[in-house]
Structure 1
Amino acid sequence: MNDLRLNPFTLGTFAPADAERYDYDREAQAIGIVHFGIGAFHRAHQAWYTDRAMDAGDRDWGIIGVSLRSGEVAHQMNPQEGLYTVTERSGEGAKTRIIGAVRDVLVAPYEPEAVIAALAAPSTRIASFTITEKGYCRAAGGSLDPALAGDESVYHYLGLGLRRRHDAGLPGLTLMSCDNLAENGQQLARLMGEYLALHDPALLAWFTAECTCPSTMVDRIVPATTAEDRDAVAETLDGLRDEAAVMTEPFSQWVIEDKFAQGRPAWDKVGAELVEDVRPYETAKLRMLNGAHSMLAYVGLAHGHTFVHEAVSDPAIRALAERLMREEAAPTIAAAPGQDLSAYSVALLERFANPALNHRLIQIGMDGSQKIPQRWLETLAANQQQGRDCPAILAGIGGWIRHLRGANGPVDDPRGAELAEMAGRADCVTGLFGQGGAMASQWHPDAADVLAIEAGF
């Protein structure tokens, strides 16, 4: 077996027979997209769609990735000149594709000028984001937190890049969120506007007139890649090492509000859905898939499970997942025409049970404070108004409080220390979720809810 890294030269030399690959001239493609947050999910989702769109004949949509903090992905990808693999795994086997859409990865703290120049380049038409909920730098009430939105935030680079485009007489950009934040496009437009009002108010009218912020719904399960995964990919690539390899499931969904400032890749030709209103799909994904995922994480960890497929194979936990999706979440969703929520729940359970993914529960349990409001609390509030109980979600909340208390090891959450202290109190449920609590929302737990949650820890 060769001990060489995947890159354009070695790919041309060894030409692995067991992997699909792009069929366009990478060097001839202009950069059309600057993507912030180039982690495993982006590589398995948006970049995968873009690669196949260029393969289908659309051109000049190369991607420059930007890491806002860590240089880890740059160290993985840049020695490979952006090449990497996506491996789809199921109980029936695995299929690997070599992706050519990404050309370079910039580490923003060390290359700020390169990031700004990429945003301001005439060929760039889209800036996209998978920065997770905490990357939006919101205060507790949802507005922009100026203390968080500093020189290391995405807003800083966008503000400078958009100012440079304006001054050069270039058109605006499409700013496209690709994460699980509810109404992500609307939120980004509002928060970017708040940032500009503080830092460059003269640019605000141009931003509103020239830039668009479509909402999207993204869905694909992408576990963290292990050393064993990389070894398996090397065997598929005839010995070539891919340090940026990502593992995923065969299923993928991308629903996009068709609102672009300067066009878009032909993503619709390779499976994406372009719609007028993303909200029904987004709500179903957040409340059913993500809501069940978080419940599986915290309850599964409490029962000693490590992976999603183990938790969903536990009869008691599977019953909770079915209850959460079908009886607690689905009745709160105004489905779009043709959107079958019952079939969706069946498909989700099948995906969760995929034994080939090894999706770690602790990975899903990260950043719970940023996820729980849209995954659980909105569903709880809607059911409370209708007089319906939500025992599955309440079991999940109990598992989350247990998690905050350190039952599963160190808590990876931007509010971890604050919430861990509160979770240790005797009145933690009302302290967290009651009026004025740290996680206060339109849902307020009553006495029965408190008892049900306490049963989980």
Structure 2
Amino acid sequence: MKLDRHTLSDLPPRVARPTYDLSQLRQGIVHIGVGGFHRAHQAAYTDALMNRGEALDWAICGAGLRQEDRTMRDALAEQNYLFTLVELADTADTEVRVIGALNDMLLAEESPQALLDKLADPAIRIVSLTVTEGGYCIDEGTGEFNPALPQIRHDLAHPDAPQSLFGFLTAGLVRRRAAGTPPFTVMSCDNLPHNGDVTRKALLAFARLRDPELADWIAGHVTFPNAMVDRITPMTSTRHRLDLHDRHGIDDAWPVVCEPFVQWVLEDKFVSGRPAWEKVGVQFIDDVTPYEEMKIKLLNGSHLALTYLGFLRGYRYVHETMQDPLFVHFVRGWMDKDVTPQLAPVPGIDLDAYKRTLIERFSNRAIADQLERVCSDGSSKFSKFSVPTINRLIDEGRPLERAALVVAAWALYLRGIDERGERYRIPDPNAEFCQALVADDEGLSARLLGVEQIFGPKIPRSAAFIDAFERNLHSLKTLGVSRTLERLLAQ
């Protein structure tokens, strides 16, 4: 049956559905960038709270700033913005649940004024974001906001007809300030270090270019909590949709699949209130830093450690890679020897148990997480997930072989052909630039490692790292992935 409000009562008994009255929801959140992760994470937490009979005034209005967001909006609109969340695990029955916390979605290209009106609405007290690492307009080389981007230049010239994230946020806050409406909290749910601080820095930089007095007002009145977010959410495939239909009789145009594990650690800095998410498992703390470093260095860094090597070997799924004992031993060595010594104590977390859980999560066959997804946007991910670890290894004079092998695997991956001779696309906005860096063997190390917006200034000045990189790149080319891993693990 087609999923919508009229068919909810007809769903099979094992499919969980909203226990609250959808007609009683009132919007309190605008979420910019509705994708799989938001729907499996923030929307799922909010729905769980609503199922307790609370937070009915915190429904979510989605917002899309890109042309590509129309596909999501149209799919959700046809089913009254309901969607199915499917948790997949090897060792437990699949949990299937209909989420009702999201109940509208506005498109900037369709009506920028409608989105501005929503941002100015006093009922909206949080604006949350999942716009990917590249959506914050930060120059990777300088770490500063980049005002030269075309959409930023447009919004500075046409402040009442914005196109960019920061143009819309600023215009919405201008309206609220003029009307005497309290500001909203800006809450990033993107997977980048100190995401709240990054958002604040970028928004203030944009606002200062528009009106320094406005920037001062935002600095004094708007809050930007940092958050650590975690849930593996692969791309929804045709197979996922067909499985949902065949097993449960639900025709959902765009369900979301995810692992059972979910975590959200959030600084409690909300200027205009928030849902009581702590009642459904969110951990509110004063400083997210130790949790964030643990997750980014262990989970995201380990993902990069295995993904390019796995793809070169011919694997296409994370669990498939983790069925190879060489990869399990390599990734566990990366976690134990390279990352863990750099981590501060994390309150309430047993790091050994956390690492075991990561291995189990990576090995989850049911979720079938695509290596292509993890491989994507490597030019942005390395600087955030791996370079800080490598820099510490260099500073402390520790072994560099594993770290250099990870970077060498990315360099070879960028050539677009695996060990089996299969060609593949490079899912990275900077793919053409990066592929040009590795097109010629002569001078490859200097060209690739010398890109400061990816690797920073320290790595290209480390003779030890360059030697390890060249040694591992040569080994991958001549011996292949498996024999290179065997040699490294034997050391």
Q: Structure 2 unaligned runs (5+)?
A: 153-161, 418-422, 478-491
Shift of 1:152: 3.1
The answer for the alignment partner of 1:117 in structure 2 is 117
Matched residues in 1 for 2:19 and 2:453: separation?
Answer: 55
Matched, 1:295 2:294: no
Matched residues in 2 for 1:93 and 1:392: separation?
Answer: 37
Identity of aligned residues (%): 36
The answer for the alignment partner of 1:403 in structure 2 is 413
Shift of 1:410: 2.2
TM score, norm. by length of structure 2: 0.89
The one of 409, 412, 431 equivalent to 2:427 is 412
TM score, norm. by length of structure 1: 0.95
Matched, 1:431 2:431: no
Counterpart secondary structure, 1:247: strand
Q: Structure 1 unaligned runs (5+)?
A: none
Counterpart secondary structure, 2:12: coil
The answer for the alignment partner of 1:200 in structure 2 is 211
The one of 318, 341, 346 equivalent to 2:356 is 346
Contact 2:383 2:453 in 1 (8 A): no
- The answer to which of 53-62 and 296-305 deviates more is 53-62
Aligned residue identity for 1:443: I
Contact 2:83 2:255 in 1 (8 A): yes
Alignment of 1:58-457 (within 5 A): 58-59=54-55, 60-69=57-66, 70=68, 71-91=70-90, 92-139=92-139, 140-148=141-149, 149-150=151-152, 151-237=162-248, 239-407=249-417, 409-425=424-440, 426-434=442-450, 439-444=455-460, 445-446=462-463, 447-454=466-473, 455-457=475-477
Shift of 1:434: 3.6
- The answer to which of 46-55 and 331-340 deviates more is 331-340
Encode CA deviations 1:27-82: one digit per residue, 9 max, x unaligned.
21211110011100100001000111122232211001112211111021111111
Aligned residue identity for 1:310: E
The one of 5, 10, 19 equivalent to 2:7 is 10
Residue 324 to residue 94, structure 1, CA distance change in 2 (3 Å)? same
Matched residues in 2 for 1:27 and 1:391: separation?
Answer: 58
Matched residues in 1 for 2:267 and 2:79: separation?
Answer: 33
Q: After TM superposition, what 4+ stretches of structure 1 lie above 4 angstroms from structure 2?
A: 435-438
- The answer to which of 369-378 and 392-401 deviates more is 392-401
CA RMSD of aligned residues (A): 1.6
Matched residues in 2 for 1:191 and 1:26: separation?
Answer: 36
Aligned residue identity for 2:65: L
Matched residues in 2 for 1:161 and 1:397: separation?
Answer: 42
Shift of 1:351: 0.6
Residue 299 to residue 171, structure 1, CA distance change in 2 (3 Å)? same
Matched residues in 2 for 1:248 and 1:416: separation?
Answer: 27
Aligned residue identity for 1:61: W
The answer for the alignment partner of 1:47 in structure 2 is 43
Shift of 1:435: 7.7
- The answer to which of 398-407 and 221-230 deviates more is 398-407
Residue 456 to residue 36, structure 1, CA distance change in 2 (3 Å)? farther
